[in-house]
A and B are shown apart, each in its own frame.
Chain A
Amino acid sequence: MPKWRNNWLWNFIKSKLSGEGAYNKLYDSQLRGIVDNADNADTVDDYHLADIQADAQNRVDSHASTNLNGIHGVIQDLEANMPAAGTAGRLFIATDTKRIYRDNGTSWDEIGGTSEFPGHRLWEKLPNDYDAAWSYVENLTDFDETTYAECSHADTNEHYVIYDLGGKRLVDCYVKADISGTLEGVTIKLLVSDDKVNWTELDSYTNKSDSTVTVELSGVNKARYVKVAIQAGSSTSRTQYVYIIRA
């Protein structure tokens, strides 16, 4: 049957544009040309821009709830610029700290992301346990290989620092330390455990000389707990320096 070309084309375009009401009017305006209304600069084809924006927001919310599992939008900025929470479903990506947060409606929940040092997040509030021989343990997990923790002792006991990673996971551990020993030696060990009772040694090194050597220990395993232990073979007073532990 004969049909009017312009009218048919226009109906075809409109049929391809989803939505109704103000949204459709928005397309109408865009495609037909926005008509200025001298009496009200905020009016487009008799629809206020505020109405159009509200309608668009409703559609975004509806789309988010039905198709995006409630994710309403993603913001990326420096962590210091994180906006106040209050719109549940938003995601915030911190471009500097590489962390990801979700707005729960009242606060931001950290849900993922990582620093430039993989595993850093697992370690930063640790260690969970260490004995009196250790000091400056915060330097172990600062990812700065120029700062160190000290392990000073004058006995033959094993002096430890233990990290609880919160659950069993695959860990690729690395330890860097300066140790010096005597003829009986000073041994540094890297161990892992699932129960904090039974330990598996990943790596160790014994220095029997007075000269300080830089030691790197490493190993891969599945474990919840990671332990670094230093034990001297004699009671000679020594201070060992451990620069970093990470996974």
Chain B
Amino acid sequence: MPIDQSSRWDDVGVEPPAGAAKYAAGEQPIAEYDNWFNYSVSQDIANLNKELSGRILNKGNASSVTVTETTLTQKQEVLPDNDFIGWIDAIHVVASNPAGSGATLYFMLRAVLSDGATEVDLLDAEESVAEGASFDDWLVDVMDVIPSNEKISAIRLYAYCSAAPAANYEPTVQLEKVVGVQN
């Protein structure tokens, strides 16, 4: 639960250059530097407070998107409201491949780690949805594949078709919901 923060500082001040954030004995304080320090400390406390508190993540994409690509392409993602996702309980994916598409739909779920670039596959292999079939399931035990001491900055849904689908019969995918804890 967040702590009600009472400290604040109203002047952002000026960040001292490297090596200047100090006093020498008998020296007068520099107001800009003092302001910067006080303001920064109150901000750091605010960030620590935010970092230490766990908040529910329960969000996703309200509608599906069509898949026409024939190479693995990012179709949807879920981002945390603040910085990171600390824990994922389940991920809901809905997919549909209508009869007449002439293609098999493939999709993959990935987690983006804290560096914002490294992606981790959340599935053993790409999931396939045959023509005329549909998919609606929740992925659990997601955290098994996330390295220790890491955080998740996004969940992404990638998809592609085995061949260009027939017009008006395009498969669809939807990263409907990610449920977990964010900070």
Residues of A within 8 A of B (CB): 1-8
User: For A2, what are the chain B residues with a Cβ–Cβ distance below 8 Å?
Assistant: 109, 122-123, 139-142, 144-145
Does chain A have a CB within 8 A of B90?
Answer: yes
User: For A5, what are the chain B residues with a Cβ–Cβ distance below 8 Å?
Assistant: 90, 137-140
**B124-146: contact bitstring with A at CB < 8 Å (1 yes, 0 no)?**
10000000000011111110110
16 contacts between A and B (CB under 8 A): A1-B144, A1-B145, A2-B139, A2-B141, A2-B142, A2-B144, A3-B140, A3-B141, A4-B139, A4-B140, A5-B90, A5-B137, A5-B139, A5-B140, A6-B137, A6-B138
User: For B109, what are the chain A residues with a Cβ–Cβ distance below 8 Å?
Assistant: 2
Interface residues of B in 8-62 (CB under 8 A from A): none
What's the count of A-B pairs with C-beta under 8 Å?
30
Can you name the residue of chain A whose Cβ is closest to the Cβ of B140? A5
Tell me the complex Cα distance, A1–B123, Å.
8
Can you name the residue of chain A whose Cβ is closest to the Cβ of B91? A2
Judge whether B138 and A4 touch: CB under 8 Å: yes
Can you name the residue of chain A whose Cβ is closest to the Cβ of B92? A5
Can you name the residue of chain A whose Cβ is closest to the Cβ of B123? A2
Judge whether A7 and B137 touch: CB under 8 Å: yes
Distance from B141 Cβ to chain A, minimum over Cβ atoms (Å): 5
User: For B140, what are the chain A residues with a Cβ–Cβ distance below 8 Å?
Assistant: 2-5, 8
Tell me the complex Cα distance, A3–B138, Å.
8
Distance from A149 Cβ to chain B, minimum over Cβ atoms (Å): 83
Tell me the complex Cα distance, A3–B137, Å.
10
User: For A7, what are the chain B residues with a Cβ–Cβ distance below 8 Å?
Assistant: 137
**B146-170: contact bitstring with A at CB < 8 Å (1 yes, 0 no)?**
0000000000000000000000000
Which of the listed residues A2, A4, A6, A8 has the most CB atoms from chain B within 10 Å of its own CB?
A: A2
User: For A8, what are the chain B residues with a Cβ–Cβ distance below 8 Å?
Assistant: 140
User: For A3, what are the chain B residues with a Cβ–Cβ distance below 8 Å?
Assistant: 139-141
User: For B141, what are the chain A residues with a Cβ–Cβ distance below 8 Å?
Assistant: 1-3
Judge whether B144 and A4 touch: CB under 8 Å: no
Distance from B107 Cβ to chain A, minimum over Cβ atoms (Å): 12
Can you name the residue of chain A whose Cβ is closest to the Cβ of B141? A2
Can you name the residue of chain B whose Cβ is closest to the Cβ of A8? B140
Tell me the complex Cα distance, A185–B70, Å.
118
Tell me the complex Cα distance, A8–B137, Å.
10
